[in-house]
Amino acid sequence: MPETTNNAKEKPFFQRYGLALVVAVAGLVGLGVWLWRGSGGEAAPANLEAHDQATLHLEPFVVNVADSDQRAYLRIGIDLGLGHELKRTQEGPPVARVRDTVLRIFEQAKLEDLMTPKGKAQLKQDTLHALQQRVPELGVQEVYFTEFLIQK
C-alpha cells in the first residue's frame, strides 16, 4: 500500500510562514520610524541652518543661576545663525558685546524655568531679541544651544 504524505505538514515552519513574518516585521519597523519622526522625536531636520548665511561660534558660558534654595550653575554653548556673512575687519565680530548681552539674559533666568522645554525656548527667544537689539550689525536670525548643562 503506498504511503500518502501531506506536503504542507512536512515543510518547516519558516518555509511556510517566513515571507509573511518578514513582511510583518518590516511593516512594524517602518511604522515605528514613521511614528517616531512624526511625534517630534529627536530627529532634527536636515536643513537646520539652511536659512543662515553664516554662524558665529561662542565659547561656552558658565553662569550662576538664580535660585533661592541652593547654588546652581548653567554651562551653555551657543552658536548664532547670522543673516549675512561676517565682514573681514581688523577688529573682527563684536564678541565682547555679544557675550555681555548673553550673560545679562542668563543672569535673569530662574532654575525652575530652565528645567522645562518651554523655559529653554523662552531663554532662546529672549537671547535672540536682545542680540537683535544690542548688536544689529550681526544680523542674528537664530540662536542654537550646542551645550546645556545645569549643575546643582
Cα–Cα distance list, 67 to 91, 107, 135 (Å): 38, 11, 29
**What confidence tens digit (pLDDT) does each residue in 89-136 have?**
656 788 899 999 999 998 888 888 888 999 999 999 999 999 999 999
The fraction of the chain above a pLDDT of 90, given in percent, is: 30
**Strand (E) or helix (H) holding 102:** helix 95-107
Helix 95-107 with 117-134: angle, nearest 10 deg = 140
Comparing 30 with 105, the larger pLDDT belongs to 105
- If you write DSSP's letter for every residue of 31-68 in order, what string do you get? HHHHHHHHTT-S---TTTTTT-SEEEEEEEEEEEPB-S
* 46 CB-near residues (< 8 Å, 6+ apart): none
Greater pLDDT, 76 or 18: 76
Identify the band that residue 40 occupies on the pLDDT scale cut at 50, 70 and 90: very low
Whether the pTM exceeds 0.75: the reply is: no
Between residues 143 and 32, which one has the greater pLDDT?
143
Residue pLDDT, tens place only, 68-96: 677 888 899 999 999 888 777 656 788 89
Q: Report the greatest alpha carbon distance in the chain.
A: 103
Does the pLDDT at position 42 exceed 50? no
Strand partners, 75: 62, 149
For range 20-33, the mean pLDDT: 70
